[in-house]
Amino acid sequence: MAWDLLVDRSDHTRTSLVETAAADLAPGQVRLRVDRVGMSANNVTYAVLGDLLRYWEFFPATEGWGRVPLWGFCEVEESTVAELVPGARFFGYLPTSSHLVVEPERVGAKGFRDGAAHRRSLPPVYNRLTATAGDPSYEPGREDLLAVYRPLFMTSFVLADFLLDNAFFGAQAVVLSSASSRTAYGTAYLLEGVHRVGLTSPGNAAFVRSLGCYDEVVTYDDLRLPSSPAVYVDVAGDQVLRRRVHEAVPLVHSAVVGAAHHDAAPDPSAEGLPGPQPAFFFAPDQVRKRSAEWGPEGVDAAHAKAWERFAPWLESWVEVRTGSGPEGLREAWLAALAGREDPRVARVVAL
């Protein structure tokens, strides 16, 4: 059975499982079978910021509904492109669906780009499917970790590189909210030469301290922060917390990275924050910069080297839980949306 798991764009708790018919392929098209995907708060961010950052446009759906972007592995099921044979395996940006039809361009040993018309104006980093056979970061025994962590760790890697590239904007400390989130602690793990402060809830404080990648852990209800110049990395996306941090610390840069606290109340006085105005950190911009400086292979090599450091540490404490099929995917989505998942748990769904 082919199917789509749709999410109501105005109420993300509402889902609909819809059976779909497999249409005949046109010349130049390939049908991918979605095989194994990760689910985390990152996917919730895609939905929350879906209209603002155009995430809903990657995988069109019935009006008012959307297919949440996922990261994971897929295989060629049917192909009209000679270079792409059934069984070839790829990692990339995939929908909450059993299948995806793509129009490959720039096919090579490292993968291809989906050149479908509706994706051409969207950030190219999301349109690339990477062949596992040509991927320096790929390890068969770590597929589950890669499905959950690779896109998050790529953001962490690029964010850490952005901060290092800008010499922390002259700051002596980096303050990261939602410190128990994968993006935050991946970034903190990679940062060197700066005081790393993790902001978290009292309930997650013990976990965050146990990670050992923060120099200091501060809870939201006791916001005692450094008095030295700092960069704020806002993974929580909580406007009220953002104001409190801006008022408590002499900031030199404020980067909005995610929306882990997607259900937080808005700041009724969002205008006129003290210090620098918050700026969205858009990872593809830094990737483009580094690709121009290092070449695409240079970016891949640097990322693979960072992952090589990170993965063994991760394996020492993370617990992977695997669901299956569309109902497993729905369950994983609702768990991520609720935000009550044990931070030591990584959810994978085999479709």
Domain ranges of the chain: 2-147+319-350, 166-281
**341 falls in which pLDDT band (50, 70, 90)?**
confident
* Residue pair 64/80 in contact by the 8 Å Cβ criterion: no
Q: Picking from 33-37, 122-126, 165-169, which range would have the lowest pLDDT averaged per residue?
A: 122-126
Mean pLDDT of 86-111: 97
pLDDT at 265: 45
Q: At what angle do helices 182-190 and 143-165 cross, to 10 degrees?
A: 60
Whole-number CA gyration radius for the chain: 20
CATH superfamily of 166-281: NAD(P)-binding Rossmann-like Domain (3.40.50.720)
Of the pLDDT bands very low, low, confident and very high (cuts 50, 70, 90), residue 259 is low
pLDDT band at 152 (very low <50, low <70, confident <90, very high): confident
Residue 105: phi, psi to the nearest 5? -130, 160
Q: Which two tokens stand for residue 42?
A: 């990152």
- ∠ Cα 317 255 44 (to 5°): 55
Q: Looking at residue 49, what is its pLDDT? A: 87
**pLDDT computed for residue 284 by the predictor:** 84
- HSE-CB for 130 with a 13 A CA cutoff: 21
Share in percent of the chain as helix, strand, coil (round to 5): 35, 30, 35
Q: What is the DSSP letter of 132?
A: G
What does the mean pLDDT of the chain come to? 92
pLDDT greater than 80 at residue 269: no
Give dist(CA 47, CA 56) in Å, integer: 7
> Residue 263: pLDDT above 60?
no
Asked if CATH classification 3.40.50.1100 holds for the domain at 2-147+319-350, the reply, yes or no, is no
Percent of the chain with pLDDT over 70: 96
pLDDT band at residue 270 under the 50/70/90 scheme: low
How far is it, in rounded angstroms, from Cα 248 to Cα 116? 47
* Per-residue pLDDT tens over the stretch 279-327: 999 888 999 999 999 998 899 899 999 999 999 999 999 999 999 999 9
pLDDT at residue 342 tops 50: yes
- 22 or 73: which leads in pLDDT: 73
- Please check the confidence at residue 267 and state whether its pLDDT lies above 60: no
The tokens for 162 are 């952005």
CA–CA gap between residue 21 and residue 200 (Å, rounded): 45
| pLDDT at res. 42 | 83
Q: Tell which wins on pLDDT, 41 or 121.
A: 121
Non-local CB neighbours of 240 within 8 Å, separated by 6+ positions: 264, 265, 266, 267
Position 261 pLDDT exceeds 60: no
Alpha-carbon span 86 to 79, nearest angstrom: 7
128 CB contacts (<8 Å, ≥6 apart)?
92, 111, 112, 113, 114
Identify whether the C-beta of residue 46 lies closer than 8 Å to the C-beta of residue 69.
yes
> What's the pLDDT score for residue 262?
47
Q: What is the mean pLDDT of residues 122-136?
A: 92
State the burial class of residue 157 (Cβ atoms within 10 Å of its Cβ: 0-12, 13-18, 19+).
buried
Given this model, what pLDDT does residue 314 score? 95
